């Protein structure tokens, strides 16, 4: 083809990317696990499995994908056969695309047998040549993160001076509010803002306890910057405090006067709620209301839709909550609701949020993992005037035991990761890595999984060592393997001892000896007959002619049976096999793959039953669960056709071949994943996070999550610290057009 290039080393023919990254940048630096520093242009690259060097990505793809002309930022080539030529000649006789068993098929095999048999005579000595192999394990991932994280899970690894903003949790909770509004005791209206510590020091001898009322409100209804709103709020607070028989109240707009501590106070309001005697809710018409005046019930629902009011209601110490409102300039108690009924009245997501309410009331007991997941889900379902990007995670801190210090530079994910690392949340972050989002657009805080599993169904097998600046994490201890994309490779395999295979092999090896012996005996008989001057006695040449004919007939029979014998030699189930992961862009069925790798379709490779969300399975007549062609699902078949014309950033179809488990898995991803990491197990199988490599940041980006058999761990190596991105980033800008030729020349 016009765009096909050629290079000296394998793979020879390839096509350059038909779109390039923009804008063009100068060569970027990269340091591999061996410490070698290089500078390369911005192209798709991967870490080579043998030497750990950075190589340009070359992907083998099916013919329809190769010819469809879809846009890609990586080089492409077509699928090649790497099986022994002798095996291919043998299987050519019977191994062709047919599902019938007719006389026409029989005569096709007869016509193919003779030329195949004579051709294989030249390959008999090379029938059992096996590729050199020193290790039967999967190709190791040669990577090691050499950079520094924003937050390490161990305090000793954090740079000096960062402890207060990373994982320092020395302060568990505020024992008392810093300030309270104390009502005047002379019978007049009003209050005084006092320091709680000073009040207790002045009243230390009396042993009096300062009980207070917590006044909950929404900044959407009472603006802290509005004097009129705050005056109305204070009237409600005074009225509610006197009704409750208390002498002090806490309201956020007045009891956080220190600008230097404002940041910490905002995220510790939950501690103030815990220490209160009672809580009331103050509601008013929203400041943004332009038309109809909302009813009290609607105002209460708006209060419940805000993010900071959610933990306040959960942690409310009283069993009843009074709702106050300002009518005709006077505070009025609208009604009193039992706390257990408040959820239905104020929360749109009451079926989910009520579980948290019941947990804090003590009627049910959520696990630490369930508590964190449900709380995060509810917090992200609420509205807020953003103070910091990690507001939802910082609000979550109020519901957990340990609270790291606020970091203004945190993104939403970084704040969540720091809170998860600080608290014993049953390794939520490690479990989250193993989940597969249902869509590309699914936000990171959503825990929905394509396999319909919950985070508590996954048991992590690795550890998060740190959180980096670019919404990535550092993982350690995961089992990993490389995926080979540029071509198949000969795979060492052994079928174990077999009398039938041994006899078939010996017959092929001795067939040429039969031919020599037969020809020699007939030649001897002919020589004796021509040299003799006198007639020989009857039967004198019979000892030579008859054995010679028999040996020639045996040789002819072996020649004609050679295709069948070769299939016997190469057939049978593998007793041991070299573990390899191969990848193909597009859809390719197991028989075609097996022909390319092993020389024929012997029925060893099977579709994975539950390897990816696209996998299909059925139960055989013997009660065995077996994988089936995913394209039997019409939706999957349509996706396969659509992916042929995919553009960068869109989902494509890929086929993964596992020679150890002998399974073929069809899956979707945006880029060809070059590495596979086992980060957890679920449902009796391993969760494999399949990643592409962003060499510019030394990050393995999560492309999809597959399920592979547990026995594959026996052939995998553990990977030291590596950087993984689990928050999907936008695809880099690109433009169509062929990139300059690499190390080949146009043919």
Q: What is the pLDDT of residues 420-459, one digit of tens each?
A: 888 878 899 999 999 999 999 999 889 999 999 999 999 9
Torsion over CA: 576, 577, 579, 581 (sign):
negative
Q: Report residue 89: phi and psi, to 5°.
A: -65, -40
Model pLDDT for residues 110-122, shown as the tens digit of each residue: 677 667 666 666 6
User: Residue 287: what pLDDT?
Assistant: 66
Percentage of the chain lying above the pLDDT 90 cut? 38
11 preceded by cis ω (within 30°)?
yes
Given this model, what pLDDT does residue 389 score? Answer: 77
State if pTM tops 0.75: yes
pLDDT at position 478 is 96
What integer pLDDT is reported at residue 679 of this predicted model?
Answer: 96
Instruction: Kindly report which listed range (104-118, 333-347, 614-628) carries the lowest average pLDDT score.
Output: 104-118
Asked if pLDDT for residue 311 goes beyond 70, the answer is yes
pLDDT at 286 over 70: yes
Predicted confidence band of residue 1 (pLDDT cuts 50, 70, 90): very low
The closest of 65, 70, 43, 69 to 54, measured between CA atoms, is 43
Averaged pLDDT of the chain = 84
pLDDT at 744 over 50: no
pLDDT (0 to 100) of residue 399:
82
Q: Measure CA 77 to chain center.
A: 26
CB atoms within 10 A of CB 259: 7
Mean pLDDT of 297-312: 89
Average pLDDT, stretch 721-736?
A: 89
Most confident of 357-371, 390-404, 539-553, 581-595: 581-595
Q: Count the Cβ atoms, other than its own, within 10 Å of residue 578.
A: 21
Give the pLDDT of residue 632: 94
> Of 256-260, 431-435, 735-739, where does the model show the most confidence?
431-435
Residue 266 in contact with residue 387, Cβ under 8 Å?
yes
The 3-state secondary structure of 132-163 reads: CCCCCCCCCCCCCCCCCCCEECCHHHCCCCCH
Of 7-21, 60-74, 132-146, 202-216, the one with minimum mean pLDDT is: 7-21
C-beta separation of 9 from 721 below 8 A? no
Name which residue leads in pLDDT, 23 or 417: 417
Q: Where are the alpha helices (DSSP H) in 25-153?
A: 63-68, 85-94, 103-120
Cβ atoms within 10 A of the Cβ of 384, count? 18
More confident residue, 741 or 522: 522
Residues 6+ apart with CB under 8 A from 483: 581, 582, 583, 656, 672, 673, 674, 675, 676, 690
d(CA 135, CA 512): 36
What is the reported pLDDT for 125? 46
Sign of torsion, CA 505 507 510 515? negative
In terms of pLDDT, which residue wins out, 680 or 383?
Answer: 680
Q: Provide mean pLDDT across the span 614-643.
A: 93
pLDDT value at residue 321: 92
**pLDDT surpassing 80 at residue 463:** yes
Average pLDDT estimate for 658-672: 96
Encode 340-357: b = buried (16+ Cβ within 10 Å), e = exposed: eebbebbbeeeeebbbbb
**pLDDT grade for 163, boundaries at 50, 70 and 90:** very low
In whole angstroms, give the CA distance from residue 449 to residue 348. Answer: 23
Longest dimension (CA), the chain: 156
**For residue 183, pLDDT beyond 70:** yes
Average pLDDT of the segment spanning 291-295: 67
For residues 555 and 487, the model is more confident at 487
Q: Is 330 helix (H, G, I), strand (E, B) or coil?
A: strand
Pick 650 or 521 by higher pLDDT: 650
Give 380-384 contacts, CB < 8 A, sequence gap 24+: 380/443, 380/445, 380/446, 381/348, 381/349, 382/305, 382/306, 382/307, 382/310, 383/305, 383/306, 383/307, 384/306, 384/307, 384/308
pLDDT band at 534 (very low <50, low <70, confident <90, very high): low
Strands 606-607 and 663-669: parallel
Handedness of CA 149, 151, 157, 158 (dihedral sign): positive
**Distance separating alpha carbons of residues 101 and 114, to the nearest angstrom:** 20
Q: Mean per-residue pLDDT for 241-263?
A: 84
User: In this structure, what token pair is assigned to residue 235?
Assistant: 């009237």
Measuring CA to CA, which residue among 194, 277, 188, 284 is closest to residue 231?
284
Over residues 87-114, mean pLDDT: 64
CA–CA distances in Å: residue 658 to residues 484, 615, 626: 11, 15, 16
Domain positions in the chain: 4-83+136-141+481-487+577-729, 108-128+496-570, 173-346
**Least confident span in 293-302, 481-490, 606-615, 639-648:** 293-302
pLDDT value at 573 more than 70: yes
Half-sphere exposure (Cβ direction) of 597: Cα atoms closer than 13 Å: 30
pLDDT at 158: 77
């Amino acid at each position: 083809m016009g765009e096909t290039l050629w290079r000296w080393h394998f793979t020879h023919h390839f096509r350059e990317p038909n779109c390039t990254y923009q804008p063009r940048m100068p060569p970027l630096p990269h340091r591999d696990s061996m410490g070698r520093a290089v500078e390369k242009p911005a192209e798709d690259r991967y870490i080579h499995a043998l030497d750990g060097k950075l190589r340009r990505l070359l992907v083998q793809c099916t013919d329809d994908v190769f010819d469809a002309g879809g846009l890609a930022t990586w080089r492409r080539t077509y699928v090649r056969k790497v099986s022994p030529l002798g095996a291919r000649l043998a299987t050519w006789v019977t191994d062709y695309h047919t599902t019938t068993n007719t006389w026409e098929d029989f005569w096709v095999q007869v016509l193919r047998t003779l030329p195949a048999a004579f051709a294989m005579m030249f390959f008999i000595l090379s029938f059992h040549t096996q590729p050199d192999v020193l290790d039967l394990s999967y190709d190791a991932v040669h990577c090691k993160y050499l950079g520094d994280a924003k937050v390490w899970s161990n305090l000793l690894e954090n740079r000096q001076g960062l402890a207060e903003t990373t994982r320092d949790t020395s302060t568990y909770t505020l024992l008392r509010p810093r300030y309270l509004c104390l009502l005047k005791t002379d019978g007049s209206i009003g209050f005084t803002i006092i320091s709680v510590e000073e009040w207790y020091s002045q009243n230390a001898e009396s042993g009096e306890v300062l009980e207070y009322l917590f006044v909950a409100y929404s900044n959407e209804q009472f603006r802290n910057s509005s004097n009129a709103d705050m005056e109305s709020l204070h009237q409600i607070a005074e009225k509610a405090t006197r009704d409750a028989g208390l002498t002090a109240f806490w309201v956020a707009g007045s009891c956080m006067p220190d600008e230097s501590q404002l940041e910490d106070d905002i995220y510790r309001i939950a501690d103030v709620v815990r220490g209160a005697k009672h809580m009331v809710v103050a509601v008013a018409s929203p400041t943004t209301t332009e038309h109809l005046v909302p009813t009290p019930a609607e105002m209460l629902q708006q209060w419940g839709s805000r993010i900071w009011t959610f933990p306040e209601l959960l942690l409310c110490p009283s069993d009843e909550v009074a709702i106050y409102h300002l009518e005709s300039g006077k505070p009025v108690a609208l009604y009193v609701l039992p706390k257990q009924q408040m959820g239905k009245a104020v929360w749109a997501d009451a079926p989910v949020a009520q579980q948290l309410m019941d947990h804090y009331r003590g009627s049910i007991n959520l696990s630490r993992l369930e508590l964190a997941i449900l709380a995060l889900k509810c917090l992200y379902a609420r509205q807020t005037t953003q103070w910091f990007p990690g507001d939802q995670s910082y609000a979550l801190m109020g519901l957990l035991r340990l609270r790291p210090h606020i970091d203004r530079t945190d993104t939403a994910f970084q704040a969540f990761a720091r809170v998860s690392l600080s608290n014993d949340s049953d390794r939520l972050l490690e479990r989250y890595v193993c989940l597969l989002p249902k869509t590309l657009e699914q936000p990171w805080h959503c825990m929905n999984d394509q396999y319909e599993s919950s985070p508590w169904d996954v048991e992590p097998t690795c550890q998060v060592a740190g959180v980096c600046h670019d919404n990535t994490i550092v993982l350690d201890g995961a089992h990993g393997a490389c995926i080979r994309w540029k071509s198949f490779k000969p795979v060492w395999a052994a079928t174990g001892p077999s009398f039938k295979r041994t006899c078939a092999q010996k017959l092929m090896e001795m067939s040429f000896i039969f031919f020599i012996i037969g020809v020699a005996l007939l030649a001897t008989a002919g020589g004796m007959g021509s040299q003799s001057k006198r007639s020989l006695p009857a039967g004198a040449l019979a000892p030579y002619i008859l054995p010679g004919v028999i040996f020639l007939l045996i040789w002819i029979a072996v020649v004609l049976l050679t295709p069948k014998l070769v299939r016997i030699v190469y057939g049978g189930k593998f007793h041991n096999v070299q573990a390899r992961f191969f990848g193909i862009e597009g859809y390719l069925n197991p028989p075609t793959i097996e022909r390319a790798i092993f020389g024929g379709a012997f029925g060893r490779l099977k579709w994975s039953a539950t390897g990816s969300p696209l996998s299909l399975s059925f139960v055989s007549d013997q009660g065995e669960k077996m994988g089936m062609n995913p394209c039997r699902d019409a939706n999957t078949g349509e996706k396969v056709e659509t992916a042929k014309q995919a553009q960068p950033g869109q989902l494509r179809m890929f086929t993964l071949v596992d020679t150890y488990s002998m399974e073929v898995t069809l899956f979707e991803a945006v880029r060809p994943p070059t590495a596979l990491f086992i980060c957890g197990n679920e449902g009796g199988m391993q969760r494999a996070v399949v990643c592409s490599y962003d060499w510019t940041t030394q990050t393995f980006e999560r492309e999809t999550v597959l399920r592979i058999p547990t026995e594959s761990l026996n052939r995998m190596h553990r990977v030291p610290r590596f950087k993984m991105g689990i928050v999907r980033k936008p695809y880099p800008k690109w433009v169509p057009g062929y990139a300059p030729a690499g190390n080949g020349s146009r043919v």
